[in-house]
Amino acid sequence: MARDPRYDVLFEPIKIGPVTAKNRFYQVPHCTGLGWLRPRMVAALRGMKAEGGWGVVCTEYCSIHPASDDLPHPYASLWDQGDIRAHSIMTELVHEHGSLAGAELWIGGARSTNLFSNEVAMDVANLPNSVGIPYQARAMDKSDIRELRRWHRNAALRARDAGFDIVYVYATHHYLLSHFLSSKTNSRTDEYGGSLENRVRLVRELIEETKDAVGDRCAVAVRFSADDEGSDDDNPVTTEHREMLEMLAELPDLWDINIQDYSHEMGVSRFIKEGSLEAHMSYVKSVTTKPVVTVGRFTSPDAMVSQVNRGIVDFIGAARPSIADPFLPKKIEDGRIDEIRECIGCNICYTGDSMGTPIRCTQNPTISEEWRRGWHPEKIPPKGSDSNVLVIGGGPAGLEATRALGRRGYHVMLAEAQHTLGGRVSLESELPGLGEWARVRNYRIHEIQNMHNVDVYFDNLMDVKHVLAVEANHVVIATGASWLADGRGLYNKTPLDELGPPEQVFTPDDIMAGRLPEGPTLVYDDDHYYMGNVIAELLRSKDIPVTLVTPKVMVSTWGDKTSEQGRVQRRMLELGVDIITSHTLIAFNGNEAEIECAYTGNRRNIEVDAVVTVTIRSPNDTLFHELQRSLEIGTDYKPNSLTRIGDCLTPTIIAGAVFSGHRYARELDTEVDPDNRMKYDRVFFEDE
Ligand X SMILES: Cc1cc2nc3c(=O)[nH]c(=O)nc-3n(C[C@H](O)[C@H](O)[C@H](O)COP(=O)(O)O)c2cc1C
- Residue 18's SS3 state is coil
Q: Given CA atoms 464, 470, 474, 477 in this order, what sign does their dihedral have?
A: negative
Q: Shortest approach of ligand X to residue 573 CB, angstroms?
A: 26
Beta bridge partners, 641, equal 474
17-56 residues in contact with ligand X (CB under 6 A) are: 28-31
Using the rule CB under 6 A, give the single segment among 94-102, 179-187, 283-291, 355-363 that binds ligand SF4.
355-363
The number of C-alpha atoms within 13 Å of 616 and in the hemisphere containing its C-beta is 12
Residue 315's binding partner among ligand X, ligand SF4, none (Cβ under 5 to 8 angstroms by kind) is none
Nearest CA among 322, 274, 305, 325 for reference residue 12:
305
Please provide the DSSP assignment of 155-173 as one string.
Answer: HHHHHHHTT-SEEEEE--T
- Strand 25-27 relative to strand 315-318, pairing: parallel
Q: At closest approach, how far in Å is the CB of 178 from ligand SF4?
A: 24
* Residues contacting ligand SF4: total by CB under 6 A: 13
Choice from 266, 367, 451, 467 touching ligand X (CB under 6 A): 266
Q: Give the whole-angstrom CA distance, residue 606 versus residue 585.
A: 10
| Closest to 104 in 3D by CA, of 181, 160, 169 | 169
| Selected range binding ligand X among 183-191, 346-354, 381-389, 669-677, rule: CB under 6 A | 346-354
Among 318, 346, 448, 499, binds ligand SF4 (CB under 6 A): 346
**320 contributes a contact to ligand SF4 by CB under 6 A:** yes
Output DSSP code: residue 126: S
Q: Is 276 in the site for ligand SF4 (CB under 6 A)?
A: no
Span interacting with ligand X, options 93-101, 312-320, 365-373, 630-638, rule CB under 6 A: 312-320
Helix, strand, coil distribution of the chain in percent, nearest 5: 35, 20, 45
Q: Which of 344, 399, 425, 665 is the binder for ligand SF4 (CB under 6 A)?
A: 344
Give yes or no for residue 533 binding ligand SF4 (CB under 6 A).
no
Interface stretch with ligand X, choices 278-286, 307-315, 319-327, 423-431 (CB under 6 A): 319-327
Question: For residues 580 and 524, is the Cβ–Cβ distance under 8 A?
Answer: no
319 binds ligand X (CB under 6 A): yes
Q: How far apart are the first and last CA of the chain?
A: 52
- C-alpha 56/C-alpha 45 separation (Å) is 14
Q: Is 324 in the site for ligand SF4 (CB under 6 A)?
A: yes
Minimum Å gap between C-beta 385 and ligand SF4 is 32
Could you tell which of ligand X, ligand SF4, none binds residue 266, using a CB distance below 5 to 8 A set by kind?
A: ligand X
Q: Which does 30 bind (CB under 5 to 8 A by kind): ligand X, ligand SF4, none?
A: ligand X
Q: Cα separation of 128 and 138, whole Å? A: 9
Task: Report how many helices (DSSP H) and strands (DSSP E) the chain contains, helices first.
Answer: 23, 29
* Residue 326 within binding range of ligand X, rule CB under 6 A: no
Among 79, 192, 327, 350, binds ligand X (CB under 6 A): 350
Among 231, 307, 363, 507, binds ligand SF4 (CB under 6 A): 363
Beta bridge partners of 594: 587, 605
Q: Within 87-146, which residues bind ligand X (CB under 6 A)?
A: 104
Measure the CA–CA gap between 131 and 112, rounded to whole angstroms.
Answer: 8
Residue positions annotated with a catalytic role: 175
* Separation of alpha carbons 615 and 508, rounded Å: 9
- State how far Cα 242 lies from the chain centre: 30
Q: Is 78 in the site for ligand X (CB under 6 A)?
A: no
Q: Is 295 in the site for ligand X (CB under 6 A)?
A: yes
Residue from 323, 434, 462, 546 touching ligand SF4 (CB under 6 A): that is 323
Largest CA distance in the chain: 87
**CA atoms of 314 and 17, how far apart (whole Å):** 14
Q: Give the three-class secondary structure for 505.
A: strand
28 binds, among ligand SF4, ligand X, none (CB under 5 to 8 A by kind): ligand X
Residue 349 touches ligand SF4, criterion: CB under 6 A: yes
Task: For ligand X, give the closer residue by CB, 161 or 274.
Answer: 274
Pairwise CA distance, residues 120 & 113, whole Å? 8
Residue type, 436: E
The length of the chain is 688
Q: Does 408 bind ligand SF4 (CB under 6 A)?
A: no
DSSP structural state of residue 140: P
Going residue by residue from 203 to 242, which x/- string records binding to ligand X, judged by CB under 6 A?
--------------------x-------------------
Residue 29, binding choice from ligand SF4, ligand X, none, Cβ under 5 to 8 Å by partner class: ligand X
Number of residues interacting with ligand X: please give it, by CB under 6 A.
22
* Interface with ligand X, residue 318, by CB under 6 A: yes
Q: What residues line the site for ligand X (CB under 6 A)?
A: 28-31, 60-61, 104, 173, 223, 258, 265-266, 295-297, 318-321, 349-350, 353
Residues that bind ligand SF4 (CB under 6 A): 320, 323-324, 343-349, 361-363
